[in-house]
Structure 1
Amino acid sequence: MSKYQLIATAAMGLEAIVAKEVRALGYECEVDNGRINFRGDELAIVRSNLWLRTADRIKLVVGEFKATAFDELFERTKALPWEQFLPENAEFPVSGKSVKSKLFSVSDCQAIVKKAIVERLRKHYKKTTWFEENGPLFKIEVSLLKDKALLTIDCSGAGLHRRGYRIGQGEAPIKETLAAALILLTNWTPDRPFVDPFCGSGTLPIEAALIGQNIAPGFNREFISENWGWITAEHWNEGRMEAEDLARYDQPIDIAGTDLDHRMVKIASENAIEAGFADLLTFKQMQVKDFTTTKEYGVIVGNPPYGERLGDKAAVEKMYHEMGQAFAPYDTWSVYMLTANENFEACYGKPATKKRKLFNGFIKTDYYQYWGKRPPKNKDEGINKRLKE
Structure 2
Amino acid sequence: MDYNLIATATFGLEGITAKELTTLGYENLRTETSKVFFTGDEMDIAIANIHLRTADRILIKMAEFEAKTFEELFQGTKKVEWSKLIPVNGVMHVVGKSIKSTLHSVPDCQSIVKKAIVTSMSETYGIQTFLEDGPVYKIEVAILKDKVTLTIDTTGPGLHKRGYRENSGEAPLKETLAAAMVYLSRWQETYELIDPLCGSGTILIEAAMIMQNIAPGINRKFASEEWPTIPDHIFNQVREGARKAIKTKDIKLIGYDMDTWVLRTAKDNAIKAGVSEYIEFQKRDFEDFSSRKKYAFIITNPPYGERLGERQEVEKLYRMFGNYKDEYPLWEFNIITAYEDFERPFGINSTKNRKLYNGKLRCYYYQYLDNDLIKGQGDTVIQEMIRNS
Aligned position for 2:262: 264
Aligned position for 1:142: 141
Cα 1:225/1:255, change in 2 over 3 Å: same
SS in 1 for 2:206: helix
C-alpha deviation, 1:297, in angstroms: 2.9
Check whether the contact 1:15–1:33 (CA below 8 A) recurs between aligned residues: yes
Distance 2:375 2:158 in 1: 40
Instruction: Select which of 319, 322, 325 maps to 1:324.
Output: 322
Task: Answer yes or no: is 1:315 the counterpart of 2:313.
Answer: yes
Distance 1:323 1:82 in 2: 55
Provide the aligned length of Structure 1 versus Structure 2: 375
Check whether the contact 1:31–1:37 (CA below 8 A) recurs between aligned residues: yes
Kindly report which structure 2 residues correspond to 1:65-104, keeping only aligned pairs within 5 A, or say none. Answer: 65-104=65-104
Aligned position for 1:370: 368
In structure 1, what residue type is equivalent to 2:100? K
Distance 1:131 1:310 in 2: 53
Distance 2:306 2:115 in 1: 47
Aligned position for 2:185: 186
In structure 1, what residue type is equivalent to 2:52? L
Distance 2:283 2:332 in 1: 22
Task: Answer yes or no: is 1:44 the counterpart of 2:44.
Answer: yes
SS in 2 for 1:321: helix
SS in 2 for 1:36: strand
C-alpha deviation, 1:376, in angstroms: 6.4
SS in 2 for 1:358: strand
Distance 1:363 1:376 in 2: 35
Distance 1:170 1:146 in 2: 40
Aligned position for 2:172: 173
Aligned position for 2:384: none
Distance 1:78 1:107 in 2: 18
* TM-score, scaled relative to structure 1: 0.93
Aligned position for 1:387: none
Aligned position for 1:383: none
C-alpha deviation, 1:105, in angstroms: 1.3
Check whether the contact 2:57–2:155 (CA below 8 A) recurs between aligned residues: yes
* Alignment deviations for residues 22-52 of structure 1 (CA, whole Å, 9 cap, x no partner): 1111112111011111111111111110111
Distance 2:6 2:138 in 1: 15
Check whether the contact 1:288–1:326 (CA below 8 A) recurs between aligned residues: no
Listed as ranges, the gaps of 5+ residues in structure 2 are 378-389
Check whether the contact 2:100–2:146 (CA below 8 A) recurs between aligned residues: yes
* Alignment deviations for residues 103-134 of structure 1 (CA, whole Å, 9 cap, x no partner): 1111111111111111111111122x411111
C-alpha deviation, 1:329, in angstroms: 2.6
Distance 1:53 1:347 in 2: 33
Distance 1:362 1:93 in 2: 24
The root-mean-square deviation of aligned C-alpha atoms, in Å, is 1.4
SS in 2 for 1:231: coil
SS in 2 for 1:320: helix
Indicate the larger mover: 369-378 or 78-87: 369-378
Distance 1:114 1:341 in 2: 43
SS in 2 for 1:341: coil
Task: Answer yes or no: is 1:360 the counterpart of 2:358.
Answer: yes
Aligned position for 1:58: 58
* Alignment deviations for residues 221-240 of structure 1 (CA, whole Å, 9 cap, x no partner): 00001011111112112211
Indicate the larger mover: 319-328 or 76-85: 319-328
Distance 2:102 2:339 in 1: 39
In structure 1, what residue type is equivalent to 2:146? D
In structure 2, what residue type is equivalent to 1:153? I
Aligned position for 1:209: 208
Distance 1:136 1:375 in 2: 50
Distance 1:181 1:141 in 2: 26
Check whether the contact 1:165–1:274 (CA below 8 A) recurs between aligned residues: yes
C-alpha deviation, 1:63, in angstroms: 0.5
Check whether the contact 2:209–2:275 (CA below 8 A) recurs between aligned residues: no
SS in 2 for 1:346: helix
Aligned position for 2:116: 116
Check whether the contact 1:190–1:212 (CA below 8 A) recurs between aligned residues: yes
Check whether the contact 1:332–1:375 (CA below 8 A) recurs between aligned residues: no
SS in 2 for 1:123: helix
Cα 1:37/1:376, change in 2 over 3 Å: closer
* Alignment deviations for residues 258-288 of structure 1 (CA, whole Å, 9 cap, x no partner): 1132221111111111212232211112222
Distance 1:346 1:116 in 2: 56
C-alpha deviation, 1:346, in angstroms: 2.2
SS in 2 for 1:93: strand
Instruction: Select which of 337, 340, 343 maps to 2:338.
Output: 340
Distance 1:278 1:324 in 2: 30
Aligned position for 2:16: 17
* Alignment deviations for residues 293-348 of structure 1 (CA, whole Å, 9 cap, x no partner): 22343210011111222211111111111222123232332110011223322212
Which of the two has higher C-alpha Rg? 1
Indicate the larger mover: 266-275 or 175-184: 266-275
Check whether the contact 1:289–1:325 (CA below 8 A) recurs between aligned residues: no
SS in 2 for 1:374: helix
SS in 2 for 1:13: coil
In structure 1, what residue type is equivalent to 2:282? K
Structure 1 vs Structure 2: percent identity of aligned residues?
A: 47
Check whether the contact 1:92–1:137 (CA below 8 A) recurs between aligned residues: yes
C-alpha deviation, 1:92, in angstroms: 1.0
Distance 1:299 1:278 in 2: 19
Distance 2:344 2:150 in 1: 48
Q: Which has the higher contact order (CA 8 A, sep 6+)?
A: 2
Distance 2:374 2:149 in 1: 48
